[in-house]
Amino acid sequence: MDRTINSILEEYQIAPQEFFRLEEIGGHKQYHLEGNALEHTMLVYEAACNMFPDNWEMQRVALLHDIGKIYTSIKHAENDWEYPDHSTCGALRGILCKFIPLNDPHFVDYQWIIRNHIKPLFWQKNGVNVDTNPWEEKRLDKNLANLNNLRKLAICDLKGSHSVNGNDELIEYLKSLTF
């Protein structure tokens, strides 16, 4: 990536002060071997730029998908961190508005995608049925594009995660889904 992180944050109107705290959060010994949460976020962002070359909003949400880790991360040992409820925390209005304006027209969509960005990682194991998933919100019944964007962000998230198990099989499964 030729641009600096600061210039990227400025372009997407994301306040950098707290964003850079992602650099202090280490990886998980099984799922995040890429170093720290900032490195992971930038890999996810790069994958989103490739998958969504003309979708500024999805590139922006890729930068914000793990901001909840700033507030929820627990270090057990070197390269052994956990991030309980980071997706829920990152979607809280009081947290998200630290990074983007509350009056942003896509604010509610950002919240929904950030809150749910982990769920597609379990679809293969549990199966996915849009009509019966208990976590599904009513507003998606009318907008399957958001569900499809969630699926694509999950693919970017997997591409930005270096796992001891590899992610190729789950990526292929998510690519095969259509909504």
Q: Is residue 138 part of a domain?
A: yes
Q: Whole-angstrom Cα distance, residue 42 to residue 30?
A: 19
Would you state the pLDDT for residue 156?
Answer: 94
Which of 59, 178, 162, 164 lies closest to 123, judged by CA? Answer: 178
Provide the CB-side half-sphere exposure for 112 (13 A, CA). 21
Distance CA 86, CA 73 (A): 8
pLDDT by residue for the chain (179 residues), tens only, comes to 557 899 999 988 888 888 999 999 887 766 666 778 999 999 999 999 999 999 999 999 999 999 999 999 999 987 788 889 999 999 999 999 999 899 999 899 899 999 999 888 877 776 665 554 544 544 444 467 778 889 999 999 999 887 656 778 888 988 888 76
- Does 3 reside within a domain? no
2 domain residue, yes or no: no
Examine residue 7 and state whether it is found in any structural domain, yes or no: no
For 112, other C-beta atoms within 10 Å of its C-beta total 20
Query: Does any domain span residue 1?
Result: no
Q: Report H helices in 27-132.
A: 37-51, 56-64, 69-72, 86-91, 93-96, 107-116, 123-126
For residue 5, is it within any domain?
A: no
Is residue 112 in some structural domain? yes
List the CATH number of the domain containing 146: 1.10.3210
57, part of any domain:
yes
What's the structural domain count of the chain? 1
What is the reported pLDDT for 145?
Answer: 74
pLDDT at residue 32, rounded to an integer:
62
44 contacts 52 by C-beta, under 8 angstroms: no
Q: Which domain holds residue 79?
A: 15-176
**Rounded Cα gap, residues 26 and 51, in angstroms:** 26
Answer whether 0.75 is exceeded by the pTM. Answer: yes
